[in-house]
Homo-oligomer: A and B are copies of this chain.
Amino acid sequence: MTAASASPRPASGPICVLGLGLIGGSLIRALDGGDHPVFGYNRSAETVEAAVAAGHDASTDLVSTLDRAAADDALLVLATPATTIDDLLPEIAAHAPNCLLTDVISVKQAVAAAVSRHAPGLRYVGGHPMAGTSRSGWSATDPDLFRSAMWMVSTEDDTDPADWSAVAAMARSVGAFVVPAAADAHDRAVAAISHLPHLTAAATAAVGAGESDLALRLAAGSFRDGTRVAGTAPTLQRAMLEANGIALLNVLSETIDRLVAARDELREHGTVEILVDDGHRSRLAYEKIAGADPAPITGVHIGEPGWAQELRRQAHQGRVWLD
């Protein structure tokens, strides 16, 4: 992204960040010092000590943090690992049942289902900032992590307009661009552009390493870049990919079909023209989108009839919410 970030604007009220790892920790650092109070929780005393030493308001006490969020009507941001939400959601439902909840997890249908199961009365608008995840923990946090990043905000037909605006305003306040999308469309999109690349990188790495140490010795830029994400911790990769299994199955099948067609073309006609041309055209389409300032969604007033559909329609053209 070379796009300039839009000017930050203050969030609309207190914010409580649950989990202070790479994403949550970067978020409390990005929000703190703004116009509105922000406080956080982390299970690990070491992380909380580091956050407090850096001047932030953080605690290892989940219940008192949630009680405070309820008293302040804070926006709750669930930023713990996906594997912890089945434990945390009942606590949130018990102690802060009237708070608005968002999250930063990389799949959206599974989280929405977990919220419905564990905390059916909770107000929930999902979110997903597209920000780096190869490092982790407080030491990796960066207050500029979200600047010019895309932050998907769940936008369903029954999403409450005020709740949506509160979550979008928080993302905007840390310099992100808001991408409105339905949970299912988001999950299909990230299967294609985030989860599938882990599997193609893994296969490429495994075939290269399986060839010989001579091959790894000769490996240069195309192998280095093309296999980078295979270096992410397997437990993190599996948690992300397996939570999006159905959408991932579809794009993996399409990938296999394309490679099989290329193999047949190469075997029978000695050429890889179709796949190489398709890939080149696709890469140029990506560079065109990623290399320019994103166009703004225009002409939508949040809450007017059909607002959610219209946001999604424009976002499917690559536009982002900048208000």
A residues neighboring B (CB under 8 Å): 130-132, 134, 149-150, 152, 179, 181, 185-186, 188-190, 192-194, 196-234, 237-238, 241-242, 245, 248-249, 251-256, 258-260, 262-263, 266-267, 270-273, 275-287, 289-290, 294, 315-318, 320
Determine if B197 and A226 form an interchain contact, defined as CB atoms under 8 angstroms apart. yes
11 pairs, A vs B, C-beta closer than 8 Å: A149-B220, A150-B220, A181-B214, A200-B200, A205-B280, A210-B254, A223-B286, A241-B276, A242-B266, A249-B266, A253-B263
When the two chains form their complex, are residues B213 and A192 in contact, meaning their CB atoms are under 8 A apart? no
Q: Assess whether A219 is in contact with B290, with CB atoms less than 8 Å apart.
A: yes
A69 to B171, CA, bound (A): 66
Chain B residues, CB < 8 A from A210: 192, 254, 282
Number of this chain's copies in the assembly equals: 2
| Chain B residues with CB below 8 A from A256, complex form | 256, 259-260, 263
In the complex, what residues of B have CB within 8 A of residue A286's CB? 205, 208-209, 216, 219, 223-224, 227
A289/B179 contact (C-beta < 8 A), A200-B226, A230-B280 known = no
Known: A199-B259, A205-B283, A205-B286. A272 touches B238 (CB 8 A): yes
What's the Cα separation between A277 and B44 when bound, in Å? 28
> Are the CB atoms of A216 and B199 closer together than 8 Å?
no
> Chain B nearest CB: distance from A157 CB in Å?
17
Contact check, B227 vs A179: say whether CB atoms are below 8 A apart.
no
Question: How far does the Cβ of A168 sit from chain B's closest Cβ, in whole Å?
Answer: 16
Please, which residue of chain B has its CB at the minimum distance from the CB of A192? B211
CB contact between A193 and one of B223, B248, B284 (< 8 Å): that residue: B223
Contact of A217 among B179, B197, B230, B271 (CB under 8 A): B179
Known: A217-B179, A224-B290. A282 touches B208 (CB 8 A): yes
